[in-house]
Chains A and B, each alone.
Chain A
Amino acid sequence: MGETLDTGTVLLILAAAVATYLTRIGGYVLITRMKAIPQRMEAALNAVPAAVLTTLVAPAFFNGGWDVKIALLVALAVAMRHPGLIMLGAGWAAVMVCRHLFGL
């Protein structure tokens, strides 16, 4: 927890940085060589973010207590009209009410 740098953690962070940089430079490199991306591949690539992110939400919902379930449902409802920080605030407020007022 102190002002330390763990070698393994630093290497992990730098590997993540390199991986990120490759995605940012990759399209430029590919587009100069490739005429068109096959449609099926493009469909798969387009699905990547939603598919990955869903796996971080769904288990949290199903494994979480009522406080977490209610907060995520409130956030989902709010997100239909107010995405971003308002949604984040609503989810946070819901979990605080559940925990501190209702003891869930």
Chain B
Amino acid sequence: MNRSDFKEGLRGGAIIALSSAPFGVLFGAVAIDNGLSFLETLLMSATVYAGASQLVGIELFGQNVEPWLVVLSVFAVNFRHILYSAAIAKYIRHYTPLQKALAFFLLVDPQFADSIRRGESGQGVSFSWYFGFGAVIYVCWSISTMIGAWFGKMIGNPASIGIDILLPVYFLGMVLAFRSRWGFFPVVIASAIGSVAAYHFVGSPWHVSLGAAAGILVATVLPLDTSSTRELPQESEG
């Protein structure tokens, strides 16, 4: 371990950790509200460690959706990570297998973004830096989840203090985060129509998969993106 790299990682990660803490608290409170116990809530943050998908999973769990569909939805929301691990491949090639295994576990959105930035700037993505950066976010995520779960238990009626609105607003924000992406509006409109229609004509759990399928189907038949600006670098190596 390189101490100065590790410390630099801690410092960079601390900023991310603090700004993601409110979402950890939110997850903890919502998880309790949706019927998870304190330990189950902490277990989910500690093992899944992917904020958005945890909120999606807990929302579906609360609606008594089939377990396999909950897992599939978590998988779907996290699908972008496949592109992340492909894109950072060339920067972490020198890690030992164990270091790689741990690095992939910690590969959340800001971890990816900062690793790419660091790699492209030529500083190198040392394991000491990567681990310091990831560890502080991971620990803070678990602690903020516990705080949220603890307060969540004391909340009587979530609607009276507006807890129930936080998830739809949070998801709306996540949808909007993709709005500069090519094909955004056709995909979102198709998913919106598909999910609302499926909700009315088929029933609750299925509106997620059917609505998502509608959006994805539209994306595959749209004319292909010819612009050179891509969300992620495509080629990992020469």
Q: Which residues of A contact B (CB under 8 A)?
A: 1-6, 8-10, 12-17, 19-28, 30-32, 36-37, 39-40, 43-64, 67-68, 71-72, 75-76, 79, 83-85, 87-88, 91-92, 95-96, 99
Taking a contact as CB atoms closer than 8 A, the residue among A9, A52, A60 that contacts B73 in the complex is A52
Residue of B nearest to A61 (CB): B168
Contact indicator A24/B85 (Cβ below 8 Å)? yes
Chain A residues positioned under 8 Å from B169 (CB to CB)? 71-72, 75, 87-88, 91-92
Contact indicator B208/A55 (Cβ below 8 Å)? yes
Contact indicator B56/A19 (Cβ below 8 Å)? no
Task: Choose, from B4-12, B120-128, B137-145, B210-218, the stretch at the interface.
Answer: B210-218
Number of A-B contacts (CB under 8 A): 271
Number of residues on chain B facing chain A (CB within 8 A): 97
- Pick 15 A–B contacts, CB within 8 A, sort by A: A4-B37, A24-B107, A27-B81, A45-B83, A51-B190, A54-B175, A54-B215, A55-B194, A55-B208, A57-B175, A72-B168, A79-B172, A91-B169, A91-B172, A96-B161
Taking a contact as CB atoms closer than 8 A, the residue among A30, A39, A92 that contacts B82 in the complex is A30
Contact indicator A6/B37 (Cβ below 8 Å)? yes
Residue of B nearest to A92 (CB): B162
Contact indicator A20/B191 (Cβ below 8 Å)? no
Chain A binding surface SS class: helix
- CB-defined interface of B156-170 with A at 8 Å, one 1/0 digit per residue? 000111100111111
Q: Which residues of B contact A (CB under 8 A)?
A: 19, 22, 32, 35-40, 43-44, 47-50, 52-53, 56-57, 59, 61, 67, 70-89, 100-101, 104-105, 107, 153, 159-162, 165-178, 181-184, 187-188, 190-196, 199, 207-208, 211-216, 218-220, 222, 224-225, 231, 234, 236
CA of A25 to CA of B173, assembled, Å:
27
